[in-house]
């Protein structure tokens, strides 16, 4: 597989999303029209590129996919590479509708858990307690008060052919998921957790370390859901690492009390147990 990114790009040092783009497009190959909406500059790719309004991610993929069909070029893949703002929040409506129509498109989200392009404002993808520039910590605020939206499950509940999660800390899993998506048709979505040194406030050298700890502690489990029912957990350690391994290196969680850490631990453990059960059954009950 050749590199499909043109580097150096204008991403920050140690950018998780720049790596997510590099790995995903490397796996996708060159028969792709890449679609963008406002987001951080991750990596430029050797692909034709469409862009549109922030809220139009699902719609532009739909238009391209239908247009390609009209001109007899269904072999070309319409791929969206969007941020969490464009997926979880402002672009959610259009993506949900595209999923419901089961458009023949691929949506890949580099999830860095806040609006990083504008300076770390909270998004629907920001985890509970994380400090952002719009969830400062003070007498009335403990960071973000509510948990991250479970966007993969929300899209799985559209009964689409494929929804998967991935992490830049697990490149082989990421690449094999993209490869699988290439073999099927219909609405396919991959959410890639992409640590952001600037917004999460850690040393840029630790991007992979943190991405890995997130998966190993059950904060960001790697799984895939087919047709809204078939469920597979792709990474199953014998024992989860404590969530502190994930939380402690990040200054966005530095203010957290022991009780708050225990809250995150409890949630992570409970949801991990549910995922293990689903994995055992091989299906989700939605």
Partner 1 sequence: MIEIRLHGRGGQGAVTASRIIATAAYEEGKYSQAIPMYGTERRGAPLTAFVRIDDVRVRERELVHNPEISIVLDPLIAKQQAVVNQLKPGGLVILNTAYPPEAVKIGGDFNVATVDATTIALETLGRPITNTAILGAFAKVTGLLKVESIEKAIKKFFPGRLGDMNIAAVKRSYDEVKGPIQAVVKEAPEQKVDIHVGGYGVLKDVSSWRVFTPEIDVDKCIGCKTCWIFCPETAIQWDEEKNKPWIRFEACKGCGLCANECPVNAIKMVRVEV
Partner 2 sequence: MVGNKAAATAVKLAKVQVASAFPITPQTTITQYLSEMYAAGEWDFDFVNVEGELTSQVVVQAASRTGARTFTCTSGPGLLYMHHPMQTTGSSRLPVVMAVVHRGYKGMQPDHSDLMSQQWTGWGHQYVEHAQEILDSVLMAYKVAEDPRIRIPIAVGYDGYVLSYTAEPVEIPAQEEVDKWLPPNKAMPSVLPDEVDPSTFARGWGGGDPQMPWKVHHEAILKIEEVLKETMDSFEKTFGRRYGNGMIEEYMMEDAEVAILAMGTIAGTCKAAVDRMRKEGKKVGLIKLRSYIPFPVKDFREWAKKLDGIAVVDRSICPGKGGPVFAKLRDSLFDQEEKPKTLQFHAGLGGKEVRVHDFEMIGDKILKAAKGGKVEQVTWV
Instruction: Write out the residues near partner 2 by the rule CB under 8 A.
Output: 6, 10, 30-33, 35, 41, 44-50, 52-53, 55-56, 58-64, 66-71, 73, 76, 93-94, 96-97, 100-101
Sign of CA dihedral 271, 276, 278, 282: positive
Nearer to partner 1, 22 or 148 (CB): 22
Q: Burial, 208: exposed, middle or buried (Cβ in 10 Å; 0-12, 13-18, 19+)?
A: middle
Q: How far apart are CA 18 and CA 22, in angstroms?
A: 6
| Interacting residue with partner 1 among 124, 147, 186, 204 (CB under 8 A) | 204
Q: Residues 82, 57: contact at Cβ < 8 Å?
A: yes
Nearer to partner 1, 201 or 232 (CB): 201
Q: Does 96 sit near partner 1 (CB under 8 A)?
A: no
Q: Are strands 32-36 and 49-51 parallel, antiparallel or unpaired?
A: parallel
| Interacting residue with partner 1 among 31, 74, 136, 205 (CB under 8 A) | 205
Nearer to partner 2, 56 or 221 (CB): 56
Nearer to partner 1, 36 or 228 (CB): 36
Of 132-140, 201-209, 215-223, 245-253: span binding partner 1 (CB under 8 A): 201-209
Nearer to partner 2, 69 or 254 (CB): 69
Q: SS3 for 80-120, per residue?
A: EEEEHHHHHHCCHHHHHHHHHCCCCCEEEEEECCCECCCCC
Collapsed DSSP state (helix, strand, coil) of residue 162 = strand
CA distances from 257 to 129, 142, 163, 248 (A): 10, 10, 34, 12
Contact partner at residue 46 from partner 2, partner 1, none, CB < 5 to 8 Å by partner kind: partner 2
- Cβ 56 to partner 1, closest distance in Å? 18
Nearer to partner 2, 104 or 207 (CB): 104
Residue partners of 169: CB distance under 8 A and separation at least 6: 208, 209, 210, 211, 212, 213, 214, 215
Q: How far apart are CA 261 and CA 74, in angstroms?
A: 49
Q: Does 117 sit near partner 1 (CB under 8 A)?
A: yes
Contact positions with partner 1 (CB under 8 A) in 31-50: 41, 43-44
Contact partner at residue 31 from partner 2, partner 1, none, CB < 5 to 8 Å by partner kind: partner 2
Q: Does 101 sit near partner 1 (CB under 8 A)?
A: no
Of 3-11, 130-138, 182-190, 260-268: span binding partner 1 (CB under 8 A): 3-11
Q: How far apart are CA 121 and CA 141, in angstroms?
A: 15
Of 72-80, 141-149, 196-204, 233-241: span binding partner 1 (CB under 8 A): 196-204
Q: How far apart are CA 39 and CA 286, in angstroms?
A: 32
Q: How far apart are CA 187 and CA 223, in angstroms?
A: 17
Nearer to partner 2, 44 or 123 (CB): 44
User: Interface with partner 1 by CB under 8 A: which residues?
Assistant: 3, 5-16, 18-19, 22, 41, 43-44, 117, 168, 171, 197-198, 203-209
């Amino acid at each position: 597989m050749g590199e499909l990114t043109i580097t150096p790009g204008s991403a920050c040092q140690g950018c998780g999303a720049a790596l997510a783009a590099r790995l995903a497009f490397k796996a996708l190959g060159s028969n792709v029209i890449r679609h963008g909406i406002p987001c951080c500059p991750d990596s430029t790719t050797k692909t034709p590129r469409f862009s549109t309004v922030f809220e139009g991610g699902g719609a532009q993929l739909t238009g391209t996919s239908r247009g390609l069909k009209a001109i007899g070029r269904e072999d070309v893949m319409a791929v969206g590479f969007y941020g969490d703002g464009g997926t979880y929040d402002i672009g959610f409506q259009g993506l949900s509708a595209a999923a419901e129509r089961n458009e023949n498109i691929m949506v890949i989200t580099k999830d860095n858990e806040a609006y990083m392009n504008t300076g770390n404002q909270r998004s629907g993808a920001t985890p509970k307690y994380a400090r952002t520039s719009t969830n400062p910590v003070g007498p009335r605020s403990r960071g973000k008060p509510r948990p991250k939206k479970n966007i993969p499950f929300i899209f799985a509940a559209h009964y689409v052919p494929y929804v998967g999660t991935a992490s830049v800390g697990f490149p082989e899993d990421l690449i094999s998921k993209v490869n699988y998506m290439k073999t099927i048709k219909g609405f396919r979505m991959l959410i890639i957790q992409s640590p952001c040194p600037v917004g999460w406030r850690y040393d840029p050298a630790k991007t992979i370390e943190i991405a890995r700890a997130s998966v190993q502690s059950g904060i960001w489990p790697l799984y895939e859901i087919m047709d809204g029912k078939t469920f597979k957990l792709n990474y199953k350690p014998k024992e989860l690492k404590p969530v502190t391994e994930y939380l402690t290196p990040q200054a966005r969680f530095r203010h957290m009390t022991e009780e708050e850490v225990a809250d995150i631990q409890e949630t992570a453990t409970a949801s991990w147990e549910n995922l293990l059960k689903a994995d055992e059954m091989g299906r989700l009950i939605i």
